[in-house]
Amino acid sequence: MKMKLAEIAKAISVENDISRWQDVEVSSVAFDSRQIANGALFVPLTGQQDGHKFVQNAFEHGASATLWASDHPIEKSNQPILVVKDPLKALQELSKYYLSKINPFVVAVTGSNGKTTTKDMIASILSTQMNVTKTYENFNNQIGVPVTLLNMESNTEAVVVEMGMDHFGELDFLTKMVNPDIAVITMIGEAHIEFFGTRDKIADAKMEITHGLKEDGTFVFNGDEPLLTQRAKQVDQEQRTFGRQLENNLYATSVNLTSHEIKFTTNMWPDTEFTVPMMGEYNINNALAALSVADLMRISSANMQTGLAHVELTQNRAQWIAGKNGEQILSDVYNSNPTAAKQVLHAFALTQTEGQRVAVLGDMLELGDAAANLHASLAQELDPAKIQSVFLIGPHMKALRDELQNKYSADALHYFDIEQKEQMTAQLQDSLTNDDIVLLKASHGIHLETVLESLK
């Protein structure tokens, strides 16, 4: 972005006189004073700490200007300060203004699983023919989405926006902020069931992404999911479905899986074989969602091939990494829920190895009263003949440990309390050989990335 403070002030109804700073130019936005780039607009948010405490630090790191909440006392300053009622709302208003100014094609993506991977695939394919911006890492909430929009370059032709939620109303707000041309739902799982209670209610919340869909927009969704096909009848806009069933607009016609890639053909381009540098049959639907978007945007099948084959994935999502003992580690530590965990365990059990398969599983969070049963349900994907050793960590994983005690011997099933992570890591390291493969999977709150760093 490139905007002078005079333009910004007009867009967000700044309350103070900024005439002496009106020609100051802003080239980015940031809400973390430690990650300020030169020329940034700092947005002091109030969370666990009050961001106003870090305004001076932001200027020292190169910020050009800062927002400032009008209910905070302000001293005279020689630095450019824009006083607003609420810095977060001002950030959101500014992002809407800038989006309308740049006017790119907008693709919004949500889903219980696969939304980040699908976002990455869509952006990779579209970038073969267009200038594309995509959500950075998991900047998918009421703060991250406007930051994504405001960090678009002025030549952006398409923006792929990931949208997350754990309560009703969040997707409604986000989709009305961006007014997508295409809205995508990857699937409905049990993520955040603690807050919603049932998958039906999760589906209701996910469908909010259609509330801001342009009248001439298109709703792209997983046609294998009855909860979505039922609700899609209430959506007036054009619709496209993807999935494994033949009733979908787009489906895979042949599939070849290896430990590091997927090859498949489809009904729409029967002579074109697509390759995705990822494991797991579940990623076929993510790729089909991306191809559905690409078709709507008139991307050639050759460029679809190129985009999928060279997709750059967000870190720590089903990523193979070499361990210090020579073992191969499948790092999927950013997040976890029952559906995703079962999918990756199923794929991991089919991965070829000369050694043992070792699964390291941490708690899946936000499952509420269903937590014990949902953790125990992972046992159906754990077979000692396929996954020889299991390491479990976290209080919820006790339910899975209890379920597995009749399947696994005591020397193959290891349980640790959450404060025993270092002990688990040391025991895991001592057990591995250079022929083994290891899966790391847990909710982000368990921080298995620290185990990964010790193993790398």
For residue range 345-381, list pLDDT tens digits in order: 999 999 999 999 999 999 999 888 889 999 999 999 9
353 labeled binding residue: no
Length of the chain (residues): 456
Determine the average pLDDT of the residues in 424-430.
Answer: 95
DSSP, collapsed to helix, strand or coil, labels residue 163 as coil
The phi, psi pair for 166, rounded to 5°, reads: -135, 10
78 labeled binding residue: no
pLDDT value, residue 145: 97
113 labeled binding residue: yes
Q: Among residues 225, 224, 176, which one has the least CA distance to residue 200?
A: 225
Check whether 65 has a pLDDT greater than 90.
yes
pLDDT value, residue 22: 94
180/158 Cα distance (integer angstroms): 11
pLDDT value, residue 192: 67
Secondary structure of 259-308 as H, E, C letters: CCCEEEEECCCCCCCEEECCCCCCHHHHHHHHHHHHHHCCCCHHHHHHHH
Confidence of residue 171 (pLDDT cuts 50, 70, 90): very high
Model pTM score: 0.87
Check whether 278 has a pLDDT greater than 80.
yes
214/106 Cα distance (integer angstroms): 10
Query: Mean pLDDT of all residues in the chain?
Result: 94
441 labeled binding residue: no
Determine the average pLDDT of the residues in 425-435.
Answer: 94
Check whether 68 has a pLDDT greater than 90.
yes
Three-point CA angle 272, 273, 279, nearest 5°: 155
pLDDT value, residue 133: 97
Check whether 260 has a pLDDT greater than 90.
no
Query: Range with the lowest mean pLDDT among 25-29, 71-75, 89-93, 431-435?
Result: 71-75
364/378 Cα distance (integer angstroms): 11
112 labeled binding residue: yes
Task: Kindly report the number of other CB atoms within 10 A of residue 377's CB atom.
Answer: 17
105 and 181 in contact (C-beta within 8 Å)? yes
- Greater model confidence, 75 or 271: 271
For the chain, domains (ranges, CATH) are: 3-84 (3.40.1390.10), 104-309 (3.40.1190.10), 319-455 (3.90.190.20)
For residue range 204-249, list pLDDT tens digits in order: 999 999 999 999 999 999 999 999 999 999 999 999 999 999 999 9
pLDDT value, residue 316: 60
Confidence of residue 334 (pLDDT cuts 50, 70, 90): confident
What's the longest Cα–Cα distance across the chain?
Answer: 74
**Rg over CA atoms, the chain:** 24
What percent of the chain has a predicted confidence (pLDDT) above 90?
Answer: 83
Check whether 194 has a pLDDT greater than 90.
no
